[in-house]
Amino acid sequence: AQSVAQPEDQVNVAEGNPLTVKCTYSVSGNPYLFWYVQYPNRGLQFLLKYITGDNLVKGSYGFEAEFNKSQTSFHLKKPSALVSDSALYFCAVEPSGSARQLTFGSGTQLTVLP
């Protein structure tokens, strides 16, 4: 069975500083990896995905994530944080070749301080 770990419940960063939200995964075979974000009183919004190819994936709102197969990680990054990036971030994995079933991490609350 697949699993996702987001080791930090809360990440605080100052506006303008780089941010990283960590994610590690465990899955049989090649993983499909996703990041979703939930803003207050909103649904989950898709940010980016890794399916195959380049290990550095670029997504919405200036976010990017790096797939590292040897470390089984898929950390979310942004070079310069904005206060409006404050939200709840979820990492998810879907085993390749399987029927659709995302396995999510427990979420990381990102707070960007002005």
Partner 1 sequence: EAGVTQFPSHSVIEKGQTVTLRCDPISGHDNLYWYRRVMGKEIKFLLHFVKESKQDESGMPNNRFLAERTGGTYSTLKVQPAELEDSGVYFCASSQDTRVGPDGSEAFFGQGTRLTVV
Among 13, 94, 110, 112, binds partner 1 (CB under 8 A): 94
- How far apart CA 15 and CA 71 sit, in angstroms, is 29
- How far apart CA 32 and CA 27 sit, in angstroms, is 10
Site map 11..30 versus partner 1, x via CB under 8 A: --------------------
Q: Does 60 participate in binding partner 1 (rule CB under 8 A)?
A: no
Residue 66 · residue 56 · CB < 8 Å: yes
Q: Is 47 or 81 the residue whose CB approaches partner 1 more closely?
A: 47
Cα 75 to chain centroid, rounded: 6
Q: Does 102 participate in binding partner 1 (rule CB under 8 A)?
A: yes
